[in-house]
Amino acid sequence: MINVICTSNFNELDSIKDGILKLGYKFKHKPIVEIEFIDLSTESQNLIIESNVCIFQSKNAITHAKTYQNLFDKNKDYYAVGLFTAKSVKESIQVNCKYPKNNYSSEDLIKEYKLNTMEGKKVVIMRGERGLKIIRESLKKKNIVNEIITYKRIINKNVINSKDFDANSINVIISMSQDALKSLCEKNDELIKNRNTILIVPNERFISEKIKIFKKIHTLKSSEFKREILDIIRNTE
């Protein structure tokens, strides 16, 4: 038997859950990180209006922007760090985003679209409270760059405990959040070591010494998350 525990919220979650249940496996959704959205100040709203480049660092960075749809006109250049963030931008404010086609990361966004050569632009970067600052550092020398914090993460370290791990099953952890994964490993390292536990993460950036306590680690190779995750789980037994 396979016992699947998902520690995050993401676009494909409901369809992946349905697929896992249809395979006859157990599924638990235990989000470790909750998102608290932050209202945009008048100053932040004006920065968006005055900008000609807008960059979204995560799906959560755009979710709250639905409330402020009138701030985002079609004359700006829009960028996102990945496909799902770009899709969320399209759904939320009806504009198209450029995004890296291979690896979904800030580094690949900068590299693919040569953002480090951008000059004389008014740039706003929409991100979380503890989001990466790589894009800002790359652009700030030749542009006016402002970061707008649209949400913060609240971590519940106690949401997953020994009752969630099945001693008689293969435990499969799906984590799309580095914060959630870090918290999970810190709180449950002995359980992970002593149970038959494997991990599924979206990319290589999640790999560190601290998570090598899992029996096996799978990184996703494509944007077809549902198909790939179900294939991994199906082939786990």
CATH code: domain of residue 114: 3.40.50.10090
Q: How many domains does the chain have?
A: 2
Last residue of a domain, one of 153, 187, 210: 153
User: How many Å apart are CA 217 and CA 131, to the nearest integer?
Assistant: 24
Last residue of a domain, one of 120, 153, 186: 153
Question: Rounded to a whole number, what is the largest CA-CA distance in the chain?
Answer: 60
Burial class (CB in 10 A: 0-12, 13-18, 19+), 155: middle
Q: Are residues 93 and 165 in the same domain?
A: no
Q: Are residues 90 and 134 in the same domain?
A: yes
SS3 state at 17: helix
Q: What is the pLDDT of residue 55?
A: 96
Last residue of a domain, one of 119, 136, 153: 153
Q: Are residues 61 and 131 in the same domain?
A: yes
Q: What is the pLDDT of residue 170?
A: 96
Q: Are residues 120 and 73 in the same domain?
A: yes
- Note down the domain range covering 178: 2-32+156-234
Q: If the chain, 237 residues long, is cut into consecutive pieces of 10 residues, what is the mean pLDDT of each piece?
A: 92 91 96 92 96 92 82 93 88 91 85 93 92 88 95 90 93 92 92 93 85 92 83 89
Burial class (CB in 10 A: 0-12, 13-18, 19+), 96: exposed
Please compute, for residue 33, the number of CA atoms within 13 A of its CA located in the half-sphere on the CB side: 22
Q: Are residues 21 and 8 in the same domain?
A: yes
Q: Are residues 98 and 67 in the same domain?
A: yes
Q: Are residues 45 and 148 in the same domain?
A: yes
Q: Are residues 134 and 145 in the same domain?
A: yes
Q: Are residues 43 and 139 in the same domain?
A: yes
Q: Are residues 76 and 18 in the same domain?
A: no
Q: Are residues 10 and 110 in the same domain?
A: no
Q: What is the pLDDT of residue 78?
A: 97
Q: What is the pLDDT of residue 223?
A: 67
